[in-house]
Every structure is written in structure tokens, then in C-alpha cells.
Chains A and B, each alone.
Chain A
Amino acid sequence: MSKKIKELLPEYSVKMLSAATIIAIVLIFYFVISKAMPVIKASGFGLLTKTGFDQQIREGFASSADDPMLTFGMLAPIIGTLLSTLLALLAAGVLAIGAAAVICEMAPRGLATVLTAIVRLLASIPSVVFGLIGVIAVVPLVEKLFITVDMQIDYLEFFQMTGRNMLSSAIVLTFMIVPTIISLSIDAIRAVPNSRREIGYAFGMSRFRVIWKIVLPSARSGIVAGMILGAGRGIGESIAVSMVCGGTAYIPNILHGFAAMLSPILPLSSAIINKSEAMSSPAVESALFACGAILLLMGAILSALARLIERRMRRRAGYAD
């Protein structure tokens, strides 16, 4: 009898805990979506395709509880999230792959250990600290390097040009994403067997060419996994970005050329932080939960995409599933 309990107890507790995790995730989705429902119902598909978020928040806050203003359009925050994450991902991808290649393939062992430690440290810095650094270092730098009074006057009819803009958001995000991609890339590169490298050397390839043509392609799926995790962090990052993004739900206009990079944005997660003071109004509350629902959806799409890409890459390379 007691023996049976000894066997069954661990089994059932593990099962219960797994079930609890799943239930928690389901509840999160349920809670967020049910809170967002009034706005989703009232806005319909326009939630994803219409603009005017800042104005709508003000109207929603001012509307009465009996007759709340529930029609929101979140195109600008959605584009803000996608653009800032994409820019950061491009920059971080290049930096991280380079850094990982140096750490694994070129640096002497001592230096590699130091660099790896720095990368780990970078990964453990709380995001609000990145935000602070963004405010005291990145924002003034961007302002000094790129923004002139003439430009500010030129673009006054579109937006107020300050150091808090898409470029600053992307720079801050880049440094937050880079450690994740470096760590995963290092693991992937270290997993490439030496026999692979020897193929290249035996053909007379230089070390750089071996890294470029053989090591990195062999490590591709790990590197892509790192990029996808990085993208997840970029989409979800709220505090640091909200400190440097400008806080205006503006859609950067590509016709402005480089100035588009200097437009303020308001990514979804920053919108939640930024507008949370107004959450006492049920309309705004529901709107911010709708932001959360869209973020959840993006996260789900991203993770599905990750699996799809991984599987396609493995199949194309000829590994059995």
C-alpha cells in the first residue's frame, strides 16, 4: 500500500503541476481576451487597421461609463512594435553573429572566457537599467548626431522630433536582444563538429571562409532560434522602450527618408505602460487589454513561425524529422 503511494505520489504531482501550467496559460489568454472583448467587439477588424490611437485614448478616458467610447484603431502601435523590433533584430543579428564567431572561432581561450562572461552579464541587466542608459546616453546622442533645429521645424507639421524616437528604441532594444542571440549562437557554433571545419580546410579555405561557408551555415538553426527568442523579447519589452520611444502613436512615413527613423513611436507594450494612468476608465482599460491581446497573438504567431522555420530548414538540409 505505502509502496503504491510512493510510486503514485510523484507521478500525480508532476502531472498536476504540468496541468497547472497549462491551465495558467489558458487562464491568461481567457482573462486578457475577456477584458479586451468590449473594445474588440466595438472596433471589429478596424482594431488592427485603423489609426488615431492617442486621440482615441483621450476620448475613451473622457467618455462616460454609461456610454463608453470603445472604438480603437491600433495600427500605429502595431507598426511601432514591428518596426522597432525588426530594426533591432537586424542590428542585433549582425552584431551577435559576428561576436559569437569571434568568441568561438577566433579569440584565444582567455579572451573568449572574458567575453562570454560579459555577454552573460549583459543578459542579466534588468531592463529598466537599459531604459535609464537609453535616457541618459542614447537619447542625447541621437539628438546630437542626427537632429537639428531646422529638421525639427521642417517636420513640425508631422511630429515633434526629439531624441526619443524609433531609432533610440531600436538601439536600446538591440543591446537587450544581443546577449540572447550571442548565447544561442555560441551554443550552436560550439555544436558544429571539428570534422566539418576540416572539410573546408582540406579544400584550402581560409579560417574566415570556413567560418562563413561552413560553420555559420551549420549553426544556422541555432542562430535562427536565438533571433526568434530575441524577436520575442523585442516585441514584449515595455519599460526600457517606453522610456525612449517618444510615446506618440505615430506611423513612421517612409517618404520622410531617414527622418522616418527619428519619428516618435508607441509600441504596443509601451502603450500599456504609457497609458496605464488612464486605466481607471473602463474604456481605456479594455483598450489596453486589447493591446495585450494583440501582443499575445503576436507571440503565438512568432512561436508557431519559429517551429515552422526550424522544421523547414531541417528538412531542406536533409535531416529526418
Chain B
Amino acid sequence: MGSSVSMKSFNAYYADKQALKDVNLEIPQNSIYAFIGPSGCGKTTLLRSINRLNDLIPSFSRTGTIAVGEHDVYGLRGRNAVSRLRRGIGMVFQQPNPLPMTVMQNLLLPVKEHYKDANSTMEALAAENLRKAGLYEELGDRVHKAALLLSGGQQQRLCIARALMLDPEVMLFDEPCSALDPISTFKIEDLLMEIKKEHTIIIVTHNMEQARRIADHTAFFYQGEIVEWGATRKMFMEPEQELTQKYIRGVM
């Protein structure tokens, strides 16, 4: 089951520059929530705040809270708490980024890191996730070949399968299709529709058609603020704000 995610008066800064202003958002479980908006509007910052990946940037700071399910992301206590949090949140990046090892090794990397199951159990899990990603038949024996030999679309689906290996409650997608051709994009969209049954999905996208096709809810970001949010259909059919209207029409 996925977890819901909620942000309350969340502000984020890179040094003195404010990247997010007073973000309040409720993301329901087992749905696809799309973040749209022009470049530099803060949507990726918010996405990367959910699994605290921004902590790696020295100049980053924030106020306010984010909760994933029951857990207060920034109020975690104890050793390895961040590590445990990140384990429960899968992430897929803009560029397909399999590591320079075999497909199978890529899939086993996250599980081997945290669990000590028998190899056969882990490989069965890997096969299951490959099947979900539609790669199992497509690759056949090539699962034991280098992952970088796959096409871009296959690599990205592999990355999704890899993120699924830890069975995360929430999955974050940072423009996962922007480097891919239309056919690969459609395959990934189908995959997202499939996995939202068991995971909560948050996707940053520049492609408004994509948001319209797959997202249950959409939030429109502009200059660090959420201008409008709600059910995707309503937002695209009859946006309340003028800014949203302009952005959707492509006149901004």
C-alpha cells in the first residue's frame, strides 16, 4: 500500500534564495500527483525534499514539515533514520541512470544493501519487478548483460524496476520521460498507471499532455509557490487562476 504525503507551510532555501514559499499540499495515497510549472519554479526542490535528497546540498535549508504516512520527514530521530526513510521512498531520475553493471546486479543493489535474503529469493523478486516493467520477456538472457547496453527507454524502465525492489510506499519521478522518445514514454506511462495501485506516485513533468493523461491530481507551481492544485481534469478544463490558464494554453 502507498502512503499519503502532506506538506505544511513548507519553505525551502538555497543560501539566501527562497526556492519554495509556504507550500501546503495533501497527496492522497495510491494516486498519481503531477507537479507542473516552468523551469526553476521549485517543483523538483519539493520532490527532492520528500526523501531529503536536498540535504546533500550544503546551502539548502528549510522550515515547515513534510509527512510521509505517519512519519515526520524532518523530525526523524536516531541513527539511520534518514536511511530508513529513503528506503521507503523510491526515486527515478530524469536521466536513465543504471550503474555500469549487469541488469540483474542493478536490480539486486538496493535489496542487497538492506536485506540478507537468499540469492534465489532476491532474484525471484527481481524477475517479478522486471515483469512489471515489461522487461522480463523483452530482455530474456540479457538480464545478465551490461545494463548500459539497453536502449534509453529500457534503461529507464529498469530504473523503475530497481526502485520497486524495496517496495516503497511512495515513488518520486523527476521528469522520467524527458530524455525518451514517445513510444518509450507511453510504455512508462502505462507502467505508472499500473504501479499506482500499490504505490503513491509523485511525478514532476514538463509535459502537460503527460500530466493530463496520467495524473489524478495536479499542482501548478510558479516562482516557488503553488498557484493552483486539485483534480487534473478540473484543472485542465476550467482552471481558476489566470496564471494556470496561461500556462496550460502555452502562452506563458
Contact = CB atoms under 8 A, between A and B. Distances in A.
Interface of A: 194-199, 201-206, 209, 213-214, 217-218, 315-319
A202 B148 contact: no
B110 A217 contact: no
Contacts of A204: 82-87, 110, 113-114, 166
B99 interface: yes
Interface in B83-140: 83-87, 89-91, 93, 95, 97, 99-101, 109-110, 113-114
A213 B113 contact: yes
B56 A318 contact: no
A199 B155 CA distance: 14
Contacts of A206: 80, 83
Q: Which of A202, A213, A217 has the most CB of B within 10 A?
A: A202
B145 interface: yes
A317 B100 CA distance: 5
B67 to A, nearest CB: 18
Contact of A195 (B51, B83, B93, B110): B93
B101 A203 contact: no
Given A214-B99, A217-B99, A318-B149, A202 B91 contact: yes
Nearest to B87: A204
Given A206-B83, A317-B101, 9 more contacts: A195-B95, A196-B97, A197-B56, A199-B97, A201-B56, A201-B86, A202-B51, A203-B110, A318-B148
Contacts of A196: 97, 99
Nearest to A313: B100
30 contacts: A194-B56, A195-B95, A196-B97, A196-B99, A197-B56, A198-B56, A198-B91, A199-B97, A199-B99, A201-B53, A201-B56, A201-B86, A202-B53, A202-B86, A202-B90, A202-B163, A203-B87, A203-B109, A203-B110, A203-B113, A204-B82, A204-B114, A204-B166, A205-B83, A206-B83, A315-B146, A316-B146, A317-B100, A317-B146, A318-B148
Interface of B: 51, 53, 56, 80, 82-87, 89-91, 93, 95, 97, 99-101, 109-110, 113-114, 145-149, 163, 166
Nearest to A317: B100
B159 to A, nearest CB: 8
B202 to A, nearest CB: 13
Nearest to B79: A206
A205 B113 contact: yes
Nearest to B95: A195
A316 to B, nearest CB: 6
A213 B109 CA distance: 9
Nearest to A207: B56
Contacts of B89: 202
Nearest to A203: B110
A214 B110 CA distance: 11
A238 B40 CA distance: 59
Nearest to A209: B113
Nearest to B165: A203
Contacts of B99: 196, 199, 214, 217-218
A315 B146 CA distance: 8
A189 to B, nearest CB: 15
A203 B90 CA distance: 7
A141 B157 CA distance: 58
A202 B171 CA distance: 11
A318 B93 contact: no
A204 B93 CA distance: 15
Nearest to A202: B91
Contacts of A198: 53, 56, 91, 93
A230 to B, nearest CB: 23
B53 A218 contact: no
